[in-house]
Each structure stands twice: as C-alpha cells, then as structure tokens.
Amino acid sequence: MTRRMTIADFQKMKDNGHPIAMVTVYDYSSALIAEQAGVPVLLVGDSLGMVMHGHDTTLPVQLEDMIFHAKMVSRGSRKALVVVDLPFLSYATEQDAVIAARRVMQEGGGQALKLEGGREIAPIVKRLTEMGVPVMGHLGLTPQSQHQIGLRAQAKDIEAARKLIEDAKAIEAAGAFGIVLEVVPAELAGLIAREVNIPIIGIGAGPQCDGQVQVWHDVLGLFEGKSPRHAHRFAEIGAQMVEALSHYNKQVSEGSFPTKAQSVSMKFEIFADIEAGQKAH
Ligand code: KIV
C-alpha cells in the first residue's frame, strides 16, 4: 500500500481474515524501523511511562507525555495507522475526553485514540466517535485500573466472562473501530472476536483474535531478564546493544578508536605552517 492505512483498511483485514500486527512505538527512529518492517498499526502506548520513563506503572503518564511521543512517532510514520493512548484520568468526563482528544490529535498527530474501560466509558467513546475521532477500546487487563483489578488474567469466571462480552459489545455499539483485549482466556477472546464485527487485537489473549499487539521492548528483547508470559522476544537486541557499546567503550579507552578511517585531514603544508607558527610563539 502506498498511502496510509485507514480504519476502513483495518476493518477489511478482519473481514478478509488477514491477521493484524500492531506494535507499540514511542519515538521517531523506532517508527521508521517499524514502518520499514511493514507493521500496519503503531500504538503510542502509555506503557511508555514504564519502558521509556522508568515509572513502575502507567499512572503517572501525563497528556503532555503522550503528545511529546506522538509527535515523534508521527514524524517517523508514513503508512501505518497510528493509535495514541489517552492517559489515566484524562478522559474521566466527556468534556475532559474531548479536550484531551483535541490536544493529542492536533498537537501530537496520530489517526486514532485508545481508551481503557468497558460499558462505563461507552458514552465517552460515543461522544468522541460522533465528533469524528476514531476510538479503539481496551478491555481485560487494563493497566490504568491495576490498583483495582491487579495485574493478573481477567474474566476467568462465568460472571466476569459474561461482563467482558457485554463490555465488548457496548464499546462496539458506542462506535469504536477496534478493541485491544489484554490477558484474558484465549477461548473467550476467540468467542468475542466472533461475536463483534470490529477487529479484536489481543495481547496475551491467544491466537483466535483478529490481530496481536506487543510492546516494542518485549518484541525486540531490549531489557535483560524475562519479559511477561504473554510476550515473545523475537530478538535479543538489548544484549547486542550492550555488546556493541562495550566494544566502543573498550576501543576508546585503549586508544584503538577512532582510526584514520573515521578522521579528516588537512594538506601537509598547511598543517606544517600552523605547527611552525605555534612553535615560534
Ligand atoms: O500501553 C500499551 O503499551 C498498551 C498495550 C499493552 C496494548 O496499551
């Protein structure tokens, strides 16, 4: 595709049974790389609070942070559909949501927003979509509510599973163009993907979803140690970075870098003149 992916293209992928890949991206150079790899949907996730800013949770993330990172990703992306998270409590009322959406989309860029929550936020999703803002929902393990629900798999009993199905239907009815489903049983996610028409993008929600989203640092293996169970490290780039930087550090400290190859020189007569002048002083 030569133009940017739209939400109509996104829906078509589900309709044609074509699984959708989505990855979080937080800056310009990473967006260029994700685009080169052909990933069709980029998420400026509020997980940036943890993996980019070093917080323990996503809760401290501010609207300004999302705008700052959305700007960088927008500059690096040409073809992908860029979705930006609205941060914790920035969409607590319809009025707040409209103000936050306007700021993120006008100042940060991106083509769509993602909001966490079920039927309780359906009126907010409806208001935004009626105003022309494409909205993606986020259900299941919603990290912005982690102090209420914990960081564990959701919807494992009948009541919670039924509620999740109803929430997905409510978010779809409110006008959302897709839903992220995080850490819920795979069978249930598959059922929801069949029950709603819009694409269901899973993270820790099994292979029956219409697509998958993963966090940049997990996919690339940037941090040492283990990634969450629902993540897969497709490379160990972090280890390669440490190795490259160790070589750099070693070569600078032992004087073997830089060499002639990384240097510029001047004409011998000019340098000789300058050197002679210095000696005369
Ligand atoms: O912020 C984020 O990275 C997310 C994904 C985990 C879906 O919302």
- Nearest-CA residue for ligand 1 atom 5 is 45
One domain for residues 72 and 190: yes
Per-residue pLDDT of 156-178, as tens digits, reads 999 999 999 999 999 999 999 99
One domain for residues 162 and 276: no
* Ligand 1 atom nearest to CA at 47: 1
DSSP one-letter code for 184: -
CA 143 to ligand 1 centroid distance, Å? 8
Average of pLDDT values for 250-258? 98
**Looking at the domain assignment, is residue 2 inside a domain?**
no
One domain for residues 15 and 82: yes
One domain for residues 46 and 124: yes
What lines the ligand 1 site, CB under 6 Å?
A: 24, 45-47, 85, 138, 180, 182, 203, 213, 215
Domain that holds residue 122: 7-235
Q: Which of 134, 182, 188 is nearest to 165 (CA)?
A: 188
One domain for residues 229 and 249: no
**Looking at the domain assignment, is residue 252 inside a domain?**
yes
Q: Which of 10, 17, 40 is nearest to 208 (CA)?
A: 17
One domain for residues 154 and 253: no
Mean pLDDT for the chain? Answer: 97
CA 216 to ligand 1 centroid distance, Å? 10
One domain for residues 13 and 98: yes
Per-residue pLDDT of 75-124, as tens digits, reads 999 999 999 999 999 999 999 999 999 999 999 999 999 999 999 999 99
From 235, 254, 269, the end of a domain falls on 235
CA 228 to ligand 1 centroid distance, Å? 13
One domain for residues 122 and 248: no
One domain for residues 75 and 184: yes
**Looking at the domain assignment, is residue 1 inside a domain?**
no
- The residues assigned a catalytic role are 182
One domain for residues 162 and 143: yes
Judge whether residue 226 has pLDDT over 90: no
What is the CATH classification number for the domain harbouring 128?
3.20.20.60
One domain for residues 24 and 100: yes
- Nearest-CA residue for ligand 1 atom 2 is 45
> Structurally, how many domains does the chain consist of?
2
CA 43 to ligand 1 centroid distance, Å? 7
Judge whether residue 181 has pLDDT over 90: yes
